[in-house]
Amino acid sequence: MGAWRARLRRTAHAASRPEPWKRGLVLTVLSLLLGLFMLLHARIPNRIGNLGSLVETFLPWFGVFIPVLLAGALWRRSASAVTALLLPVLVWLNLFGGLLGDKSHPGGDLTVAEHNVGAGNSDPADTAHALAASGADVLALVELTEKARGTYEKALGKAYRYHTVRGTVGLWSKLPLSETRQVDIQTDYGPLAATKPADVRLTYARALRATVATGRGPLAVYVAHLGSARVNPRVGFWTDTRDRNARALGKAVAAERNERVVLLGDLNGTTDDRAFDSISSRMRSAQDVAGDGFGFSWPATFPMVRIDQIMVRGVTPESSWVLPATHSDHLPVAARISW
């Protein structure tokens, strides 16, 4: 009699439990929402706290929620939740799956590198020696301070015969430089640009343009350090200066007559961010084309985003990589390009 009652209780309990397709409805909804969130990221408006740009800056990291939801679905033994996870998995792979493998190729005609050396760099001489040892033919430095400028010029002088500095950005090259000039990205080429005195424009210079004479023809090189992006509880993701700089830089690149162009700089944002459409619509990211992985460059202690960019037009990236850490809070980035 006892055994019969136990079987009856087990049968009643099993009958009362939801079927696998009816379990974990909350997990199923969360999985679908995650997939739609990533799929429709471009539709997220920037009107409220620049939310769209903030999401696009950290968009690859939303994939971290997929294994969390999968663990919950397996724990609940929910067939519907597991199936719903196919949407965020496919969306994430469509967006970033191409970055998982190594797309680099051997060879190339020129190695270029960029580094935000950091205004608070504790050992600029050691940083300069490390960058010279990278073998880059063309090296762009941003966030140069007046105090450290002489140190970099002295330490890099032996490896790089030619260099030019405008304000806080500089370009060192093993090949001759010409047509060097400042690019004013402070006022979006508005009417106020012409009213600023030359010495004031130089003090706040954050971009320059130069022509590098290569054995395959002239190469226009832009060096830029766009305004900072800040997360503020009151205003959200503050990027006003950066976005204005990006638009001005996009106009400068659009007006460039040289068909071969390289942009080296700390853009304070990722190429997924819509704020850089005026640049990314005209140039390709070397990391996206020929990198190995995501190539995150900031912060140096635990890189989470790639805000240091090498972008090209008219030349082909063969490889792109991140260099070892220096005494800066950014990691240097490099690329090998060919004609």
pLDDT band at 19 (very low <50, low <70, confident <90, very high): confident
Given a cut of 90, is residue 20 above it in pLDDT? no
φ/ψ (deg, to 5) at 308? -95, 120
Given a cut of 60, is residue 49 above it in pLDDT? yes
Distance CA 18, CA 23 (A): 6
Segment 194-221 mean pLDDT: 77
Q: Which segment of 10-14, 54-58, 318-322 scores lowest on mean pLDDT?
A: 10-14
Segment 59-76 mean pLDDT: 95
C-alpha distances (whole Å) from 224 to each of 155, 209, 214, 247 are 22, 9, 21, 12
Q: Are 334 and 321 in contact (CB under 8 A)?
A: yes
Q: Are 30 and 69 in contact (CB under 8 A)?
A: yes
SS3 213: strand
Given a cut of 80, is residue 1 above it in pLDDT? no
Tell me 59's DSSP state.
Answer: G
Q: Which segment of 4-13, 101-110, 310-319 scores lowest on mean pLDDT?
A: 4-13
| In the chain, beta strands by DSSP E | 110-116, 138-142, 162-166, 169-173, 177-182, 207-214, 217-225, 230-232, 236-238, 261-266, 284-285, 308-313, 316-322, 333-338
Tens of pLDDT, residues 103-162: 999 999 999 999 999 999 999 999 999 999 999 999 999 999 999 999 999 999 999 999
pLDDT band at 4 (very low <50, low <70, confident <90, very high): low
Given a cut of 80, is residue 18 above it in pLDDT? no
Given a cut of 60, is residue 203 above it in pLDDT? no
Which residues face 219 on adjacent strands? 212
Q: Which segment of 194-198, 277-281, 314-318, 322-326 scores lowest on mean pLDDT?
A: 194-198
Tens of pLDDT, residues 31-47: 999 999 999 999 999 98
- Strands 110-116 and 138-142 come out as parallel
Segment 188-216 mean pLDDT: 67
Percent of the chain with pLDDT over 90: 81
Residue ranges per structural domain of the chain: 2-99, 110-338
- pTM as predicted: 0.87
CB-based contacts of 152, cutoff 8 Å, min separation 6 = 117, 124, 128, 141, 144, 170
- Predicted local distance difference test score (pLDDT) of residue 157: 95
Distance CA 88, CA 62 (A): 9
Give the residue among 140, 152, 154, 149 at the shortest CA–CA distance from 111: 140
Greater confidence (16 vs 112) lies with 112
- Predicted local distance difference test score (pLDDT) of residue 187: 52
Average pLDDT, the chain: 90
- Predicted local distance difference test score (pLDDT) of residue 48: 86
CATH of 110-338, one of 3.40.50.970, 3.60.10.10, 3.40.190.10, 3.30.1600.10: 3.60.10.10
- What region does 134 belong to: left with phi over 0, alpha with psi -120 to 50, or beta? alpha
